[in-house]
Amino acid sequence: MTEKEIKKLADIIDYTPEHINKTTLIDNNLHAAMLFAMKKGQSLPKHSSPVDAFVYVIEGEIDFTLYKNADTCCDSCMCTVSSNLQESSDSVEIKTFEIKKEEIFIFEKDIEHAVLAKKDSKILVVRV
């Protein structure tokens, strides 16, 4: 894609049944914009972002799970989508947010999180 092209986000990336498809739109080592196409049941394992970020669901539906321990705080991570809260034995609070088409979820840096596609989903992740 060049700077003079106008495209719909959903048209930039296609699904791949064998694996999650990822396209990086912009990356300057700290800030990035990435597109993911995930078939139902595919997941991104637990990881963290070095900076605050947001996920926008272009199409489909995902579960976005935050893993917070006693040393981290993510009060601003709350949003209006439904969530399930669980406590585990090793002081990790697990909170799962169901994010649907055209919804956005903002999360803080250094908070571990994972993503599961509940339907075939295309998502935009932006590290700010």
| Mean pLDDT within 112-126 | 98
Predicted pLDDT of residue 108: 94
Look at the pTM and tell me if it is higher than 0.95.
no
Residue 14, pLDDT > 50, answer: yes
Residue 16, pLDDT > 80, answer: yes
Residue 126, pLDDT > 60, answer: yes
Please state the separation of Cα 78 from the chain's center in Å: 14
State the average pLDDT for the chain.
86
Query: For residues 81 and 83, what is the distance between their CA atoms, to the nearest angstrom?
Result: 7
Domain ranges of the chain: 16-127
16-127 placed in CATH 3.30.413.10 = no
Predicted pLDDT of residue 68: 85
Contact present, 87 and 15 (Cβ < 8 Å):
no
Beta pairing class for 61-69 and 112-117: antiparallel
126: helix, strand or coil: strand
Task: Tell me the per-residue pLDDT of 63-116, one tens digit each, with 9 for 90 and over.
Answer: 999 998 755 444 444 433 344 545 444 678 999 999 999 999 999 999 999 999
